[in-house]
Amino acid sequence: MKAIAQDRYGSSDALELREFDRPVPTGNQVLVRVEAVSLNAYDWHHLRGDPYMARLAFGVRRPRQKILGRDFAGRVEAVGADVKRLRPGDEVFGEADGAFAEYVCAPEDVVETKPAGLTFEQAAALPLAGNTALIGLRDVAPLRPGLRVLVNGASGGVGTFAVQIAKAYGAEVTGVCSARNADLVRSLGADRVIDYATVDFTREGRRYDVVFDLVGNRSLTSFLRALAPTGTLVLSGGGVSEGGSLFGPMGLILRGPALSRFVGRRILTFSATRSGENLATLRELVESGKVAPVVDRTYASLGEVPEAIRYLEVEHARAKVVVTV
């Protein structure tokens, strides 16, 4: 099978389209013939090995995971002996390492039936970004009807899902983004949109019950100015432009819980672990019409992954970038 691989950290020039043996599913694994994949900031950070502290997980000198990618959608090709729900031919989506390939093996519990009515390209946009938004807001914040929620980075991959999920759970939503993306964020249900270039939401005097930060570009003390006295700041790192240091946006995440003890406000971080149950919830939200994936640009072949990553990095893509396999 063909797959996008890297042997060293660097730019998208470090990526190559190569031949690999097709994986064989065992136990509770399913083998999926990939129809589409989507890109995430995670892929860029893995490609660059940035921030440097992330290399403790990715591989200190070179990446341990040769095949890049996490999000996929496709058809089940074969199943292991312990698989119970899925069968060959099922249309599915999920999240697994090594997704930028013609085939990917994943445990059954992180693969879910594709939402009815979605294309493979749309379904591939759901897993990592949708799961991150769902965990950060529903589980960590947590959401309840009537809360005032601000999403910083509302037009990004996670942000477009966060706006919709917050509205689905009954929140009043303010989205922070660039002026060019304001109409998009409004169309997703935001009650109010702030252009970060002209308004500093941390100084305008409004207070929010939940601030969900997806950018990592402000200090903790500035975020606290935007929080209600009983509010919660949820930190989820930064995008592709927030690297280039030892810790990158991880520094903010590491300092947050420590500061929380002294300021009397909840500053929380989380890890968006893969979850089949959350994928099922996302499928239900999509099928109910409450959430819809937004795709900024689609590339036509696996060999275009390097170009897609360059676009993600340089053009500050809104929503999701997808590659058809």
Report the CATH superfamily, name and number, of domain 129-269: NAD(P)-binding Rossmann-like Domain (3.40.50.720)
Return the domain boundaries, the chain.
2-126+293-324, 129-269
Model confidence pLDDT, tens digit, residues 84-108: 999 999 999 999 999 999 999 999 9
What pLDDT shows up at residue 298?
96
CA 117, CA 78: separation in Å to the nearest integer?
24
CA 219, CA 152: separation in Å to the nearest integer?
13
Model confidence pLDDT, tens digit, residues 267-310: 888 888 899 999 999 999 999 999 999 999 999 999 999 999 99
Burial 155-170 (b: 16+ CB within 10 A, else e): bbbbbbbbbbbbbbbe
β-bridge mates for residue 38, sequence order: 71, 322
What pLDDT shows up at residue 304?
96
Give the fold, CATH level 3, of 2-126+293-324. Answer: Quinone Oxidoreductase; Chain A, domain 1 (3.90.180)
DSSP 8-state secondary structure symbol assigned to residue 155? T
What pLDDT shows up at residue 258?
53
What pLDDT shows up at residue 264?
57
- Pick out the chain residues at pLDDT < 70: 49-56, 59-60, 237-264, 315-316
Separation in Å, CA 255 to CA 81, 172, 216, 261, 266: 45, 28, 12, 11, 13
What pLDDT shows up at residue 183?
97
Closest by CA to 133, choosing from 160, 115, 99, is 160
Largest separation between any pair of C-alpha atoms in the chain: 59
Identify the sign of the CA torsion 133, 135, 139, 141. negative
CA 232, CA 315: separation in Å to the nearest integer?
31
Identify the sign of the CA torsion 7, 321, 29, 271. positive
What pLDDT shows up at residue 242?
47
Number of residues assigned to the chain: 325
